[in-house]
Amino acid sequence: MRLASTGSEDRSIEITLGNLLRAGVLISAGTVLLGGTLNILRHGGEPVTWEKFHGEPAALRSLSGIAEAAFAAQGKGIIQLGLILLVAVPVLRVAVSMLVFLRKRDFIFAGITLLVLLLLSYSLFFVS
């Protein structure tokens, strides 16, 4: 049996999810800005070569390498951390939405949200 919820409770949940998104985007943007600033201060005067594309080093392509570089205050590591946070924000919103649906005992929407969360997780961790 589905319990009727009040409009004010739904509105409160919407505001909470909106604040979660806003805070996550601001934190990730601030992290990228900090990393970019550090990178420019430390490497801004180096010559740039445009002849050949060089991707990020292998150390900055794994979560452990990114965390290590970020905690060592390396600009590129902090930028990568900010981008990971930016990707994590909507995933966290989906996870919180699923918990809200479970709390409201709306198992159909909880199941649909779980499916979305599984698809997001699959695309993040298994599709390269």
Confidence bin at 5 (pLDDT 50/70/90)? low
Q: How far apart are CA 103 and CA 86, in angstroms?
A: 27
Q: How far apart are CA 52 and CA 42, in angstroms?
A: 22
Contact 19, 12 (CB under 8 A): no
Question: Helix 75-103 crosses helix 107-125 at what angle (to 10 degrees)?
Answer: 160
Would the pLDDT of 46 be above 70? yes
Q: How far apart are CA 101 and CA 26, in angstroms?
A: 26
Each domain of the chain, given as residue ranges in start order, spans 8-43+58-125
Q: How confident is the model over 53-110, as pLDDT tens digits?
A: 878 888 888 888 999 999 999 999 999 999 999 999 989 999 999 999 999 898 999 9
CA 25 centroid distance within chain: 8
| pTM exceeds 0.85, yes or no | no
Q: How far apart are CA 92 and CA 115, in angstroms?
A: 14
Average pLDDT score over residue span 13-25: 90
